[in-house]
Amino acid sequence: MKFAYGLAATFLVIIATATLTLGQTPNESGASDEAGTIAVMDHIWLDAAHNRDPGTMEWLFAKDFVEIHPGGEIVDKKEQIDQIKDPTRQIKEIHPDDIDVRYLSSDVAMLLDTTTIRGLSGGVDYNGTYKVIRVFVKEQGRWKAAGAGIAPIKP
């Protein structure tokens, strides 16, 4: 009788382990889900910029975040958040299109998108479309934005 219980317990462990393993194995659907998550993060990032929401940016940006703006200005996390908080900056519209997740691993994602901006900053007109590379890293199980490089699309 003890043997039968032991056997049943062993089978249960094998089945449970196999189920867990299958759930963790990266597959096409899993990769697609992660790519979808990254695309959502892209929207969250730009929505936070549009809504002048430093709290979301603080949550989203990795500690060593870096961004290169059109014109070549390089900003870190604090500088980027300060710019978003700056009341003289007006972002009337900002959204990503054509999001292409170029690279995806368990802890790194890099995407290319086309970002449309309508806004003014320090009297400078930022209206236009931009090609942007955005990098995300997984820290303690959560995706964070590590940086972005932005170049204007010139006609």
Partner 1 sequence: MKRFSIAALATILIFAPLAFAQTQDRSSAEEETLKKLDHSWLDAEKRLDIAYCEKFFADSYVLVFPNGQVYTKKQWLDVLRGPDHPVITFLDPEDIKVHLHGNVAILTDHTTLKGHDSKGNSMDGEFNVFRVVIKKNGNWQAAGVVMNAIAAKK
Task: List residues near partner 1 by CB under 8 A.
Answer: 62, 64-66, 68-74, 102-103, 105, 107-108, 110, 112, 129-133, 135, 137, 139, 146-154
Nearest distance in Å: CB 100, partner 1: 8
The distance of closest approach from Cβ of residue 118 to partner 1 in the complex, given in angstroms and rounded to an integer, is 17
- C-beta of 48 vs 147, nearer to partner 1: 147
CB 100 within 8 A of CB 134: no
**Closer by beta carbon to partner 1, 96 or else 147:** 147
Give the dihedral of Cα atoms 46, 47, 52, 54; nearest 10 deg: -80
Helix (H) or strand (E) holding 86: none
**CB of residue 120 to partner 1, shortest distance in Å:** 16
What's the min distance (Å) between Cβ of 65 and partner 1?
8
In terms of CB distance, is 13 or 124 closer to partner 1? 124
Using the structure block, give the residue that is written with the tokens 């691993």. Answer: 105
Nearer to partner 1, 53 or 121 (CB): 121
Pairwise CA distance, residues 18 & 143, whole Å: 27
Helix (H, G, I), strand (E, B) or coil at 36: helix
DSSP per-residue letters across 2-15: HHHHHHHHHHHHHH
Query: Hey, what's the torsion of the CAs at 123, 127, 132, 135, to 10 degrees?
Result: 50
Min dist. Cβ of residue 71 to partner 1 (A): 4
Residue with Cβ nearer partner 1 (56 or 129)? 129
